[in-house]
Structure 1
Amino acid sequence: MRSGRRLTLGLVVAAMLLGSQGQALAGNKPAYRYPWLPVKARVADLLSRMSLDDKLGQMMQAERLGIKAPGDVAKAKLGSLLSGGSSQPTPNTTQAWADMYDNFQREALSTPLGIPLIYGVDAVHGHNGLYGATVYPHNIGLGATRNPALAKKIGRATAEEVSATGIDWDFAPCLCVSRNDRWGRTYESFGEVPELATSMSTIIDGLQGRSLSQPASVMATAKHYIGDGGTTGGVNEGNTQISEQELRKIHLPPFRAAVERGVGSVMVSYSSWNDVKLHANSYLINNVLKGELGFKGIVISDYNGVDKIDGKTGFTPEEVSASVNAGIDMIMVPFEYQKFIDTLRGEVQNGHVSQARIDDANRRILTKKFELGLFEHPLTDRKYMSTVGSKEHRDLAREAVRESQVLLKNDNNVLPLDKSRNKIFVAGKTADDLGNQTGGWTVGWQGASGPVTTGTTILQGIKQTAKPSSTVTYSKDGTGIDHSYDVAVAVVGETPYAETKGDRPASMGLDQTDLATLQKLHDSGVPTVVVLVSGRPLDIAQQLPQWDGLIESWLPGTEGQGVADVLFGAYNPTGKLPVTWMRSADQQPINVGDGKPALFPFGYGLSYRHGH
């Protein structure tokens, strides 16, 4: 070493780890700036240089809309930002996202230590907040495919489109096991048994790639830990009142699988387990997740989740220390991040939160930032911009749609439809509605009806598939149908929703608009095929006898051509129910093995040529 130069603590650690290679550290850069050093050594060196304020800033994740002025990111030394479900830049283009990301990132890099931001987004079925991105079927549809290899491919394609906008962190997949279809997040679940979410956790491998440092790798998040799909009454953010044995048997296995796959982060659930909020549950986070499962990544709170611990608005010092001591490493405080930093600083200073706990949280956060290569490549890799909504990705989505369709009824072989010499009448509010087809979490948190993004509606798919010798007539409400038609296709179901607003504590049937449309078709005497677009099974037992065919389409996303492929037999349906289909809403919760008689059992699904 050059004489007179003193090794910093980090250099000593590095020298010890590397032996003679430590010689190469001679130079002016701090050890954490050397990419060839082991991540552990880089983290130790950087941590030794950080003040308490640096460390508290790293533990904060603010909403980008909460950044009120240029310089706020650097001033608070923020470690992370997110775009919530309805937080898109204007214009909502790939370029604008990338520019926004890079501007925030440059600000973080301007701080004395130059620690890059990590930026999160809810890309839960493709990069769904970005206009023009490929939107895949929601998880319940992927669960119907029973195809883990497909899930992995979707993870990879999503990671490319997310990377194109600079984002490093995806708050997906949801590994909840939905046990009550009244829950508004049922469609975010792969199904009602742990085996489905466990097998489909391959999507994590797709998102994260072979290593986080690879181009177009984004950090995945297993959420929501734990038991959010098992709340009493299917109430969102509710209370899961079950034994630890059942919690471990039903809800823990997918998280164990995610940890084994090296998932980078785990998000804590808003819900409670036997009246204790998960955001304050040290046993389940510290003992089970970090201890027993050996999770080494970042535990992140949900959006304002810490504020919900005591059930009152406005977080308290007690809530802050309870959540951090329970093992939450990064806290999503969308707007009041400065108040949170000040409160947490007070809790450290008064001894309610230890310096060791703050260091542990920072170690976990910084480790992921180094593993992602953010110190070397902090800005957007714009070569992935061409992947957004690309033909390759849309073809993959179309394949996912095909495989997710579940044929539930096919009297007199009404399906597949004949492409030639066929007179087809198409009706229903969702036949030509991309927003209904994509559902919630699509260019907006709750989603919306109408042309919310670009893609192919189910009606367009039908028109593109029928040959010129056939006619396709469309009427949204069914007006104009008569005896002359060979078949009617009704595309009906739920309109978009996300958490809480999507809870259905009362009836679970079709709405009056759909019932009126279906009645018109039935009255005409024309054989009717129903395509049900919904985030869960609906209460349809009374109407079912009037339908000749039924396909459960779930929420297929932007590629409606995949539905048409199944309707016309270009693809023989292979989808199987990932949930048990109720005979009536009052059976909820109904799950495989509980002895309740189902309208269609878990795993049911017909095909055209071979029957069930």
Structure 2
Amino acid sequence: MQYPKLFSIAAICTVAASAVFISVLGAAAPAKPKPLSSYDPQVKAVLAKMTLEEKVGQMTQPDQEALKDESDIESLFLGSVLSGGSSDPKEGNSLEAWTNLYDKYQKRALKTRLAIPLIYGVDALHGHNNVIGAVVFPQNIGLGCTRNPALVEKIARVTAEEVRATGIQWTFAPCVTVPQDIRWGRTYEGFSDDPKVVKELGEAAVRGLQGPDLSNPLSLLACAKHYIGDGGTTFGTGMAGKSPLDQGDTRVDEPTLRRLHLQGYLTTIAAGAGTVMPSYSSWNGVKCSASKQLMTDILKGELGFQGFIISDYNAIDQITPDYKKAIEISINAGMDMVMVTERYREYVKDLKELVKEGRVPMSRIDDAVTRILRVKFAMGLMDKNRSQLADRNLHKTFGSAEHRMVARDAVRQSLVLLKNEKKTLPLKKTVARIHIAGKNADDIGNQCGGWTIDWQGKSGNITTGGTTIRAAIQAAVAKGTQVTYSADGSGAQGATVGVVVIGEKPYAEMMGDRKTLALDAADVAAVKNMKAAGIPVVVVLLSGRPLIINDVLAQADAFVAAWLPGTEGQGVSDVLFGDYKPTGKLAFAWPRSDEQLPLGTATTADVLFKNGFGLKY
């Protein structure tokens, strides 16, 4: 997309935002992305000027927190930096601090001989979730229950705008995993256990993040991950002593791998995703980051992927204990950029030596750098007439009411009504008294889950803004209605109705794997205490996966699966009070017991609720 040169950056962003939002709202058909290889003439001209040191630098991505000296950006010609899940500015997690951090590093990159800008990566998985005040959307498992690609695209577009407000141009999303064992701690990062749902919503996320044209100043580079089979690992093959499933081995034949786990890549690559991240996990004993078959033969060859492959965080370290050998294996297999975090100096030295020793051919280096530069040209990063610093005019809409309304609507559509006896729901706003209970009723951290401010997430007031479910109910009721609260469900006697908000505390990869999916004893007790008051009881479950709920379900008059809804708790109260009637449908099968696990897509087990189940009022 070309703009008149007399436009300021602020004006360009305003025009761009308007154009993309019109597309998202359905006024125009999605544009077919321009092939990245179309930039090869410009790429070749730059590549011809580059030294081996500059080429290897482009293939290097340390964590900014691990930089031993900021001048390494210049001296090593680094092509990228990232902020991992808890890698924040030293000054704190504010919008201003993040923007200053990006500008500081980008200014250094622009001082290099060829002035090739950095591309900065971050895990913006459900909004710009590292930054205080950002809108935090429902996790993907909830979005899968909406079955609404237009909504997912709109969420991704808002996320893109909030990330670009900090200058950052790249998110490691969408995750197009197809989890087959919900004991896996990353289940909530997947839209569904059904590849058909993942195909549709993953494609929509890429369209929203990148927009119709990567050169748009509001486009955010997408990264389809984790290629491939991350959601299909066999229980007990994960990280020894840490996780029974995470980073494990997916033991399936190739037709099964393609049928279940490749589908999301077919659509995200067709939609123009500029990067792909291989999984930590293995396929039949071979690390994905070491597989030439997966990265070169299938992804780049068969699927025609023209962007670049970025490794996961220190993933190549797991290939073999000999670090230099691990680099050789991964680069020759097709890895283009390596997320090396702390060992970046060693990696640069080793890769240069491997080239000089003839163990990594220069043709492989040139292919990797060509792919990286294709993306940088496509994004307008190589445009000398365009500022590569953050557009701080975008701060005006960061965390705005309009953005929060998109999130609130997403919460409404993600909720699944599993039980509603005697028409307990919707609640009336004019009842005499509502008693609220449960550890998750008034906890914004639990409501958001993992990958929120901290890598693993955190309970309590994590200062992201937003509204807890308790506060949302309090704000929704009529003036004369009393709202009382106790964490354990006590004191409910005399109330008209009780609402108990139970479920999991935040977690992310590794720490989230569980052998049993039983509810916490405190959650069961809170529901029991509420029921003992002899009043109708509504249970709202916040979780990153289906849990074993049989006993609690039997005591509940109404039961709502609310997943991990994010900052906008009003979306939950909207459904509870009938301002929005429930439309969500389960994206995963719901087990009766741990003994039924793993279920997977093709389960024939007598489950508690089937994939696709969801009641209406």
Q: Same fold (TM over 0.5)?
A: yes
> Following TM superposition, by how much is the alpha carbon of 1:295 offset from its aligned partner in structure 2, in angstroms?
0.2
Q: Which residue of 1 aligns with 2:144?
A: 143
1:324 aligned to 331, 355, 367, which one?
331
Q: Which residue of 1 aligns with 2:478?
A: 467
**Separation in 2 of the partners of 1:462 and 1:54?**
57
Output one character per residue of 1:109-167: Cα deviation in whole Å (capped at 9) or x when no partner.
11111111000000000000000000000000000000000000011000000000000
Q: Give yes or no for contact 2:417–2:582 (8 Å, CA) kept in 1.
A: yes
**Separation in 2 of the partners of 1:70 and 1:467?**
56
**Separation in 1 of the partners of 2:534 and 2:583?**
29
Q: Which amino acid aligns with 1:259?
A: I
Q: Which residue of 1 aligns with 2:342?
A: 335
1:576 aligned to 577, 585, 601, which one?
585
Q: Which residue of 2 aligns with 1:368?
A: 375
2:557 aligned to 548, 553, 565, which one?
548
**Separation in 2 of the partners of 1:170 and 1:550?**
35
Q: Give yes or no for contact 1:39–1:367 (8 Å, CA) kept in 2.
A: yes
Q: How does 1:96-107 map to 2 (within 5 A)?
A: 96-107=97-108
**Separation in 1 of the partners of 2:600 and 2:115?**
51
Q: Give yes or no for contact 2:172–2:224 (8 Å, CA) kept in 1.
A: yes
Q: Which residue of 2 aligns with 1:385?
A: 395
1:554 alignment partner, SS class: coil
Output one character per residue of 1:317-371: Cα deviation in whole Å (capped at 9) or x when no partner.
2110110011110000001101001111111111111000000000000111111
1:464 alignment partner, SS class: helix
> Following TM superposition, by how much is the alpha carbon of 1:38 offset from its aligned partner in structure 2, in angstroms?
6.9
**Separation in 2 of the partners of 1:98 and 1:375?**
20
Q: Give yes or no for contact 2:431–2:496 (8 Å, CA) kept in 1.
A: no
Q: Which residue of 1 aligns with 2:358?
A: 351
Q: Which amino acid aligns with 1:597?
A: D
Q: Which residue of 1 aligns with 2:207?
A: 205
> Following TM superposition, by how much is the alpha carbon of 1:521 offset from its aligned partner in structure 2, in angstroms?
1.0
Q: Which amino acid aligns with 1:175?
A: V
1:542 alignment partner, SS class: helix
Q: Which amino acid aligns with 2:167?
A: G
Q: Which amino acid aligns with 1:212?
A: L
**Separation in 2 of the partners of 1:38 and 1:264?**
13
Q: Which residue of 1 aligns with 2:119?
A: 118
Q: Give yes or no for contact 2:336–2:372 (8 Å, CA) kept in 1.
A: yes
**Separation in 1 of the partners of 2:75 and 2:522?**
53
Q: How does 1:213-232 map to 2 (within 5 A)?
A: 213-232=215-234
Q: Which amino acid aligns with 1:208?
A: Q
Q: Which residue of 1 aligns with 2:188?
A: 187
2:451 alignment partner, SS class: coil
Count of paired positions: 567
Q: Which residue of 2 aligns with 1:451?
A: 461
Output one character per residue of 1:374-409: Cα deviation in whole Å (capped at 9) or x when no partner.
123311122211221111110000000000000000
Q: Which residue of 2 aligns with 1:401?
A: 411
- CA, structure 1 residues 240+38, in 2 after alignment: closer, same or farther (shift >3 Å)? closer
Output one character per residue of 1:264-309: Cα deviation in whole Å (capped at 9) or x when no partner.
1000100000111001010011010000000000101000000011
**Separation in 1 of the partners of 2:484 and 2:382?**
57
Q: Give yes or no for contact 1:402–1:562 (8 Å, CA) kept in 2.
A: yes
Q: Give yes or no for contact 2:499–2:538 (8 Å, CA) kept in 1.
A: yes
Q: Which residue of 1 aligns with 2:28?
A: none
**Separation in 2 of the partners of 1:344 and 1:146?**
45
Output one character per residue of 1:82-109: Cα deviation in whole Å (capped at 9) or x when no partner.
0000011123121211111111011111
Q: How does the TM-score come out when normalised to structure 2?
A: 0.91
Q: Give yes or no for contact 1:98–1:380 (8 Å, CA) kept in 2.
A: yes
Q: Give yes or no for contact 2:156–2:206 (8 Å, CA) kept in 1.
A: yes
Q: Which amino acid aligns with 1:96?
A: A
Q: Give yes or no for contact 1:161–1:388 (8 Å, CA) kept in 2.
A: yes
Which shifted more, 393-402 or 234-243?
234-243
**Separation in 2 of the partners of 1:70 and 1:470?**
58
**Separation in 1 of the partners of 2:409 and 2:211?**
21
> Following TM superposition, by how much is the alpha carbon of 1:422 offset from its aligned partner in structure 2, in angstroms?
3.5
Which of structures 1 and 2 has the bigger CA Rg? Answer: 1
- CA, structure 1 residues 592+115, in 2 after alignment: closer, same or farther (shift >3 Å)? closer
Q: Which residue of 2 aligns with 1:16?
A: none
Q: Give yes or no for contact 1:522–1:546 (8 Å, CA) kept in 2.
A: yes
**Separation in 1 of the partners of 2:504 and 2:589?**
18
Q: How does 1:442-591 map to 2 (within 5 A)?
A: 442-452=452-462, 453-482=464-493, 484-505=494-515, 507-591=516-600
> Following TM superposition, by how much is the alpha carbon of 1:70 offset from its aligned partner in structure 2, in angstroms?
3.2
Q: Which amino acid aligns with 1:595?
A: T
Q: Give yes or no for contact 1:592–1:601 (8 Å, CA) kept in 2.
A: no
Q: Which residue of 1 aligns with 2:607?
A: 598
Identity %: 50
1:335 alignment partner, SS class: helix
**Separation in 2 of the partners of 1:273 and 1:70?**
38
1:187 alignment partner, SS class: helix
> Following TM superposition, by how much is the alpha carbon of 1:591 offset from its aligned partner in structure 2, in angstroms?
3.1
Output one character per residue of 1:209-247: Cα deviation in whole Å (capped at 9) or x when no partner.
111110210100000000000001270101100010000
Q: Which residue of 1 aligns with 2:175?
A: 174
**Separation in 2 of the partners of 1:99 and 1:427?**
42
**Separation in 1 of the partners of 2:107 and 2:400?**
29
> Following TM superposition, by how much is the alpha carbon of 1:592 offset from its aligned partner in structure 2, in angstroms?
4.3
Q: Which residue of 2 aligns with 1:72?
A: 72
Q: Which residue of 2 aligns with 1:7?
A: none
Long gaps (5+) in structure 2: 1-36, 236-243
Q: Which amino acid aligns with 1:371?
A: A
Q: How does the TM-score come out when normalised to structure 1?
A: 0.91
> Following TM superposition, by how much is the alpha carbon of 1:421 offset from its aligned partner in structure 2, in angstroms?
2.7
Q: Which amino acid aligns with 2:468?
A: T
Q: Give yes or no for contact 1:398–1:562 (8 Å, CA) kept in 2.
A: yes
**Separation in 2 of the partners of 1:231 and 1:221?**
21
2:108 matched to 1:94?
no
Q: How does 1:145-164 map to 2 (within 5 A)?
A: 145-164=146-165
Output one character per residue of 1:415-472: Cα deviation in whole Å (capped at 9) or x when no partner.
1101113321000001000000000000010000011121100011101111112211
Segments ≥4 residues shifted beyond 6 Å: none
Q: Which amino acid aligns with 1:447?
A: G
2:264 alignment partner, SS class: helix
**Separation in 2 of the partners of 1:543 and 1:102?**
51
Which shifted more, 37-46 or 437-446?
37-46
